[in-house]
Structure 1
Amino acid sequence: MTKRIFTLFFIYIVHQLSAQESLIDTVFIDNQFRKVSKTAKISNLNSDKILENSTSLSDLLRFQSNIYIKENGRGSTSSPSFRGTTAQQTAFVWNGININSIFLGQGDINNLNPLSYENVGIKYGGGSVIYGSGAIGGSIHLNNILDFNRGFKGTLFSEYGSFGTSNSVAQAKFSNDNFSFSLNINHSRSENDYEIPQRKFINRNGEYENTSFNLGLAYKINPNNEFYWQSQHYDSDQHYPIFSENQTKTKYFVQTFRSLAGWKLHSGKFKNNFKLAYLEDNFQYFGDINKSKTSGGTGKQYIIKNDLDFLVSKNSSFNLITEYQYNEAEGFGSGIKTPKRNLGSFSLLYRNSQSEKFYWELGAKQEIVEGYKSPFLFSASAKYIANHWYQTTINFSRNFRAPTFNDLYWLPGGNPNLKPETSTQAEMAHRFSYRNFTLSITPYYMHIIDNIVWMQATSYWSPENINKVDGYGLETDLSFEKQFGKHQIKGRLSYSYTKSVNLETNKQLMYVPFHRINFNANYQYSWLGIFAQAFYNGKTYTDTDEKNFLEDYFVVNAGVNLNYLKHYQIGFRVNNITNKAYQSVENYFMPKRNYAINIKFNL
């Protein structure tokens, strides 16, 4: 099958090589991300922001976004919650490809090392028309960038912190007029043996270690044709915390391989981005670290995706996105044998900007999925710039999540008759600008039907389509930026109110905090940089009856970076300055005050 795909790809290349016209400057592989940013709420975290929270993607998102992160102790299983939705209702997108697990339907944040990426993008709200299953609450975009005409650039970064923690990355990039090369190797590990004396908590068996190898290549045949390739290999050893010395120690191994090849073409009114991807996820769970594996599995995805833009006029265009996937898996110790699935989709978007002040777009998508009926999806959005100090955007969409192999085939309990989850949602954002200040206010509403929930049957659990959920809330962001002489100040304060209610019980969903506040500030003067970051997490229920809850907490980090020498930067960071004992999942406490020191060398 793979041989056939690459043969077709080669024939398609030969057929199109004669095209000439617009100049291509940069290979930003997820070309849709910049398009949706015109109307959607977007956050971009560049490499400098990533290094401020290099320990894990959980820390990066917890401190630099208002996404709620559920983490079973530092470095262990971790998942996000956008606007009161679940981890399965969040899409993880790697260079434009949805990489949610075909077993679980989600991504484990702590098995996605942030040091592997140059940009982490966050899109709030539904995006299934473009990014497929799971893009209900929002999507997290893990981007690698390939540039041309930048010469050679090398970076070495190494950090050592409390609890025997180290994070290191070596990156090399080279590009000229026609060729671009990027290599990234990173490694993280920690003994992770912290204690919370007043809670009589020790993070026993909490150690972890992971390594990632990332390679990117791009070649420009002529000004209108580029080929690119991005690959990633990830290997992780993650232990799960236990509460007493008498408990059996467990561990979890993960090996991931991702490979993406593509061709970008410009020809007159046409722009085309053709992709071939192969994704493989392997995992092994050990119920006793001294014995052989208890369960495991291998999931493979073969993907063909084409993104065609046709310019109708100077201000309007059609965008056709077609995708075919073949998924196969093999389970061990779970009752899952060798399930297979074919699925395809067709998305059509129309974008129009008749004036500098008004932009709008419409989208429609039909999924064709083997084994069950899939919903018709749509989206509509618009942006209006009233004047220099006020603009507004509106988004309306229908999104979905397909049942996963675990939902359908896990034994005992899998349910092959599940329907996909669907959601309808709307939001309207208002943005105000005054001098160095920008204020955005975004109210939203979301209605989810056929929610897939695992319910206890007799002696086992089984998933059912039972719940309807109403979610609504408000997100506000106030940012400030000013530069005078050698001084530069940046700051951002955000607040979110989230209500996510099970309509059958009229109760707030588990692990959905009502209130969250985030604060980030950076000051730079010549060779001195100072940053501070903080978040407040409000009351959070841990059961469906609103009887048990986690207390609210406030956590502050701060750090300093010194660039006194030309190619060197030395940094120091204090985490959890107030020494707060807190937990984002019941009984799994996070570390109190701890420290990290780092050095960065730019070649």
Structure 2
Amino acid sequence: MKQITTLFLAFATCAIAISQTSLDSIQRLDEVLLSDVKLTRYASGLKIETLTDSVLQKNKRSFTDLLRYNSNIYFKENGYGMVSSPSFRGTNASQTAVVWNGININSQLNGQTDFNLISTSNYSSISIRSGGGSVQYGSGAIGGTVHLNNVLSFDTHFDNELQLGYGSFNTKNAHYKFSYGNKNWSANFGLAYRDSDNDYKYLGSTRTNENAAFNNLDINLNLGYVLSDKDVLKVYHQNFRSDREFSATILAPSKSKYESEDYRSLLEWAHIGNTLSSSLKAVHLLEQFKYFENKDTNNFSKGQANTWQVKHRLTNTFSKQLELSIITDYSYITADGDSFNDPKRNAFSATAILSHSPTQNLQYNLNVRQDVISDFKSPFVFSGDVSYQLASFYTLKFNASKNFRVPTFNDLYWNPGGNLDLKPEDSCQLDLGHEFKYHTIGLKLNTFYIKTSNLIQWRPNQFSGYWNPMNIANAKQYGLEAELALERQIGKHRFDFNLNYSYTKTEDLAKNQALFYVPIHMANAALAYSHKDFSTYYQHLYNGAVKIIGGSLKGFDVGNLGFGYRFKTKSKLSYQADFSIDNLYNTYYENVALRPMPNRNFNLKLTLNF
């Protein structure tokens, strides 16, 4: 530990002592606009996919649908709109980190993020970063990270958007957002509401999806103020509320309900100096829930967790080729509820990130991190990545990392069943990437290998009769990912084609068998066409068979079709009508055994911009 401390002090001393040059204008702009600068600046050897505005517009049904049809992430969804758990490169839901404006927001209670409790409407961009990221984003960033970003722009503008939608199963959507900016101020606000009876028919039977209604409300407010030519103050706030019933399975009825609420607040002061820049963040995260076994009664169990965090980043730019960042953060976390005895956690971490570009074609990053956590010992983690442009059309990328996931409050303190003797999960990963770019054609090929030890799993205890979490499993995942993107403009006709394919092999090393709910083959494709104000698209998803307890769940193909037309006026006002048909072929399929997904359904949407 003394050696690690000395290492960080040496980095910090060098960062202040060495002479430097000015930041270039592009880097200054990044400092002002983007709260999560680590996403792109220190990840040159990793695969990052940022979803464009046109993709977000086509996929505003749910966050799960957006990623299911536009990424290599597999989702285990307990019926449409119910609990949605990602599997990133064969890892589980608690090994995928969701990052909100640079802050890891995975639950302190169960270590996961339910992707059906996130709205896509109120974010400026959504990015998917493949590979280990625990050095930069902490616990759970093993398979990959999903980034939700709000950009504050200080260009002069004032834009409004109102969106209204209605679809099958009495599904209603409403969304309003505005964005304002001048040279001193920037603000954006978003309000999104979604409500559905969700009572779709089970194909091949007379039954419907019972006890499955849901509604959610997302409020997002972000402000920025230029204090001086070197200082910017930014405030981000989000409140997401959800009330949903938990649907039945084919075999068992349900009357349960789940109410949840998340508050996220972030205050950031960014200083952009000639050679030294810094960012100081103060964060508060609140997650709380009520679970009703019978929604017709007032009996429920409840729980909540509070996280207070202070995070500081100091960046020294020695030259355009060399940069060093030192990041420190402290978190104080508390929880209470019917199944907890008021647990508390103090956590401190220190991170050093060195970024170097020896030549125009070569860039690499070296990262180290040490966490000190009050209720167990956390591993020392590190990562390195390199990007080398071998030709104008070909870039070779490589990254290696050691990552971790800490036991959650549920794992440690759940009463009865918690286990205070748990160790953090630790994981090692290798990733080799090839990126080809020729005119308007882009191709990415990645091979990966992940090995994880001390996997935490809940198992029945034959002596107590309760389920207990234990470090009993080791696993490995390896495979191939491919992404193809093609754009073509012929006069006023535009064509866009995107294809994602993943081949994933997994193994529980103790049992010598594949992990549950990980498809070996998965692919999605999208073809879009536009001519003047008319647009149309087709999406297709192939999900291969997955292993489940006692057998396997067969694979499926699902297609979606959509049309849109933009009407223009002589004023700033414009509006667009969109119509989509989901599950075009009326396919019966299940993401989770005994939980059918929706039959063919329709959605109509009207969007006004002014």
Distance 2:118 2:493 in 1: 35
* Matched residue type, 1:563: R
Distance change in 2, residues 1:246/1:430 (3 Å): closer
Residue 425 of structure 1 is matched in structure 2 by 429
SS at match of 1:197: coil
* Matched residue type, 2:424: P
8 Å CA contact 2:203–2:599 kept in 1: the answer is: no
Match among 366, 370, 379 for residue 370 of structure 2? 366
Distance 1:422 1:201 in 2: 45
Residue 400 of structure 1 is matched in structure 2 by 404
Distance 1:361 1:464 in 2: 35
Check if 1:597 corresponds to 2:604.
yes
8 Å CA contact 2:477–2:506 kept in 1: the answer is: yes
Residue 551 of structure 2 is matched in structure 1 by 548
| Per-residue deviation, 1:46 | 3.4
Residue 586 of structure 1 is matched in structure 2 by 593
* Matched residue type, 1:34: T
TM-score (norm 2): 0.93
Distance 1:199 1:70 in 2: 23
* Matched residue type, 1:550: L
* Matched residue type, 1:560: F
Say what the alpha-carbon RMSD is for the aligned residues.
1.5
SS at match of 1:146: coil
Check if 1:130 corresponds to 2:133.
no
Match among 172, 195, 212 for residue 189 of structure 1? 195
SS at match of 1:508: coil
8 Å CA contact 1:21–1:224 kept in 2: the answer is: no
8 Å CA contact 1:528–1:564 kept in 2: the answer is: no
Residue 290 of structure 2 is matched in structure 1 by 284
| Per-residue deviation, 1:484 | 3.1
Residue 510 of structure 1 is matched in structure 2 by 516
Distance 1:556 1:188 in 2: 23
State the number of aligned residues: 579
| Per-residue deviation, 1:564 | 3.0
Distance change in 2, residues 1:92/1:21 (3 Å): closer
Residue 7 of structure 1 is matched in structure 2 by none
Distance 1:200 1:468 in 2: 44
SS at match of 2:494: strand
Distance 2:485 2:52 in 1: 17
Residue 352 of structure 2 is matched in structure 1 by 348
* Matched residue type, 1:448: T
Q: What does residue range 169-248 of structure 1 map to in structure 2 within 5 Å?
A: 169-199=175-205, 201-243=207-249, 247-248=253-254
Distance 1:234 1:82 in 2: 24
Distance change in 2, residues 1:471/1:245 (3 Å): closer
8 Å CA contact 2:224–2:235 kept in 1: the answer is: yes
Residue 436 of structure 1 is matched in structure 2 by 440
| Per-residue deviation, 1:197 | 3.4
Residue 564 of structure 1 is matched in structure 2 by 567
* Matched residue type, 2:346: N
Match among 99, 114, 127 for residue 121 of structure 1? 127
* Matched residue type, 1:27: L
| Per-residue deviation, 1:534 | 1.1
Residue 268 of structure 2 is matched in structure 1 by 262
Match among 499, 511, 517 for residue 493 of structure 1? 499
Distance 2:254 2:534 in 1: 48
Further displaced range: 159-168 or 84-93: 159-168
8 Å CA contact 2:23–2:320 kept in 1: the answer is: no
Residue 419 of structure 2 is matched in structure 1 by 415
Distance 2:112 2:301 in 1: 18
Moved over 6 A (4+): 20-23
8 Å CA contact 2:203–2:588 kept in 1: the answer is: no
Check if 1:71 corresponds to 2:74.
no
* Matched residue type, 1:203: N
Residue 18 of structure 2 is matched in structure 1 by none
Residue 334 of structure 2 is matched in structure 1 by 328
* Matched residue type, 2:542: Y
Further displaced range: 168-177 or 33-42: 33-42
Residue 574 of structure 1 is matched in structure 2 by 581
Q: What does residue range 47-126 of structure 1 map to in structure 2 within 5 Å?
A: 47-126=53-132
Distance change in 2, residues 1:201/1:515 (3 Å): farther
Distance 1:250 1:68 in 2: 26
Distance change in 2, residues 1:200/1:124 (3 Å): farther
| Per-residue deviation, 1:485 | 2.5
CA deviations over 1:414-442 (Å, ceiling 9, x no partner): 10110000000001001223343222110
Match among 518, 529, 532 for residue 526 of structure 1? 532
SS at match of 2:57: helix
Distance 1:197 1:347 in 2: 53
* Matched residue type, 2:566: N
| Per-residue deviation, 1:494 | 1.6
SS at match of 2:371: strand
| Per-residue deviation, 1:244 | 7.3
Distance change in 2, residues 1:248/1:425 (3 Å): closer
SS at match of 2:377: coil
Distance change in 2, residues 1:244/1:88 (3 Å): closer
8 Å CA contact 1:328–1:339 kept in 2: the answer is: yes
* Matched residue type, 1:308: L
Match among 469, 475, 489 for residue 469 of structure 1? 475
Distance 1:582 1:201 in 2: 15
| Per-residue deviation, 1:491 | 1.0
8 Å CA contact 2:43–2:365 kept in 1: the answer is: no
Further displaced range: 526-535 or 419-428: 526-535
Q: Which runs of 5+ in 2 are unaligned?
A: 1-21
8 Å CA contact 1:21–1:223 kept in 2: the answer is: no
| Per-residue deviation, 1:541 | 0.7
Distance 1:491 1:242 in 2: 38
TM-score (norm 1): 0.94
CA deviations over 1:331-362 (Å, ceiling 9, x no partner): 12x2x120000001001011101111110110
Distance 1:245 1:442 in 2: 41
* Matched residue type, 2:422: L
Further displaced range: 66-75 or 242-251: 242-251
| Per-residue deviation, 1:325 | 0.3
Identity %: 36
Distance 2:254 2:542 in 1: 35
| Per-residue deviation, 1:314 | 2.5
8 Å CA contact 2:369–2:382 kept in 1: the answer is: yes
8 Å CA contact 2:210–2:248 kept in 1: the answer is: yes
SS at match of 1:222: coil
Distance change in 2, residues 1:513/1:412 (3 Å): same
Distance change in 2, residues 1:437/1:536 (3 Å): same
Residue 9 of structure 1 is matched in structure 2 by none
| Per-residue deviation, 1:22 | 6.9
Distance 2:278 2:61 in 1: 37
SS at match of 2:94: helix
8 Å CA contact 2:353–2:366 kept in 1: the answer is: yes
Distance 1:248 1:191 in 2: 15
SS at match of 2:415: coil
CA deviations over 1:294-347 (Å, ceiling 9, x no partner): 311111000101122111222001111111100001012x2x120000001001
* Matched residue type, 1:554: D
Distance change in 2, residues 1:550/1:248 (3 Å): closer
8 Å CA contact 1:327–1:341 kept in 2: the answer is: yes
8 Å CA contact 2:44–2:364 kept in 1: the answer is: no
* Matched residue type, 2:242: S
SS at match of 1:196: coil
